[in-house]
Amino acid sequence: MVAQGETGGMPGGEEHWTAKGEVRLFLWRKRAPGPAAPRGTVLFVHGSSMASQPTFDLSVPGRDDASVMDWFAARGYDCWCVDMEGYGRSGKLRDINCDIANGADDLAAASRYILSKNGARALLVYGISSGALRAAVFAARHPDRVARLALDAFVWTGEGSPTLAERRKRLDEYRRVNRRPIDRAFVQSIFTRDHPGCADDATVEAFAQAILALDDSVPTGTYVDMCARLPLVAPQALDMPVMIMRGQYDGIASFDDLLAFFRQLPNPDKQFSVMPGIAHASFQQKNHRLVYELLLGFFSRAEPVYRG
């Protein structure tokens, strides 16, 4: 563990490492100073094309709330994120495409480490895009480790998804290789493919710089899974409270696909939330504060007293 510098008025983050077999996994932690017990422990799970710190601990000039980890830490939460195998600072040595199941293995290793560090009984888990799929598969495998599960830009069967329809045109290419190149133009395309204007230029540029400082290529496994192997998780397997978060303009999943999944979630403590003015990459959008507050409301919700 190595303490880092100050960020946005919050204490420096803490660098942690754990292992999944021979694979080293990088974790990043942020929490407020002081002896107070945390309100909860949050694990943030990144998507297909970027590592965890650019997504969840971004620094943008002139924007003091660009880091969702800082925002939640300031409200009393112990915040963690992890680079999946093949991304960022985590191991990249194996000749594999790092699919969704492999990412769920990463979360099993990361969650075991986190729970051993702070003594929490279970985690508040947030995943975005393929990170939502990783989080859902992990939660189905280890329900005892997940107190609440938030799935942002989630996709179930893929039916009605314009983003996946475009991506399938290159499926043969993604199957032939284990990594695909990324550059600034690719990162910018994330913010223009659905509804241009949802994110400001300074945030997009800072996001691109942070992503490309860590990776110039990323694994193909999540793309292959999302194009050719859905569904990967059954709603009935998620018996913890679940929130489905869907950006108004996001092209990754249709409303009908998500509503069909939502109806079959077994726990009555569930929520389907549409986020106005949001496309993909919700924490980097102009309306990011409503996303933060929506997530805070779900994570801080009181448990039912009467269940019937």
Tens digits of residue pLDDT in 276-288: 999 999 999 999 9
pLDDT in tens, 114-168: 999 988 999 999 999 999 999 999 999 999 999 999 999 999 999 999 999 999 9
Q: Find the largest Cα–Cα distance for the chain.
A: 53
The rounded distance, in Å, linking the Cα atoms of 69 and 41 is 11
Average of per-residue pLDDT values in the chain: 95
Which pTM does this prediction carry?
Answer: 0.96
Contacts of 139 (CB under 8 A, 6+ apart): 125, 145, 146, 149, 238, 240
Q: What average pLDDT does the segment 260-277 reach?
A: 98
- Say whether pLDDT at 11 is over 90: no
2-299 is classed CATH 3.40.50.1820: yes
CA angle (230 as vertex; 56, 176 as ends), nearest 5: 85
**In the chain, count of helices (H) and strands (E)?**
11, 11
- Say whether pLDDT at 232 is over 70: yes
CA-to-CA separations, 264 to 3, 156, 196, 208, 270, in angstroms, rounded: 43, 12, 33, 37, 11
pLDDT in tens, 58-85: 999 999 999 999 999 999 999 999 999 9
Confidence of residue 12 (pLDDT cuts 50, 70, 90): confident
Q: What average pLDDT does the segment 170-182 reach?
A: 98
- Say whether pLDDT at 1 is over 60: no
Location of structure tokens 């990249």? 92
Confidence of residue 7 (pLDDT cuts 50, 70, 90): very low
The neighbouring-strand residues paired with 123 are 146
φ, ψ for residue 244, nearest 5 deg: -100, 125
pLDDT at 307: 87
- Say whether pLDDT at 24 is over 90: yes
DSSP assignment string, 96-159:
S---HHHHHHHHHHHHHHHHHHH--SSEEEEEETHHHHHHHHHHHH-GGGEEEEEEES--SS-T
Q: H/E element holding 209?
A: helix 201-212
- Beta strands 179-181 and 217-219: pairing type? antiparallel
Q: How would you classify residue 209: left for phi > 0, otherwise alpha for psi between -120 and 50, otherwise beta?
A: alpha
Domain limits, the chain? 2-299
Sign of CA dihedral 282, 288, 290, 296: positive
Comparing 34 with 240, the larger pLDDT belongs to: 240
- Say whether pLDDT at 302 is over 70: yes
pLDDT at 151: 98
Q: What average pLDDT does the segment 179-192 reach?
A: 98
The rounded distance, in Å, linking the Cα atoms of 171 and 119 is 43
- Say whether pLDDT at 5 is over 50: no
Omega before 231 within 30 of 0, i.e. cis: yes
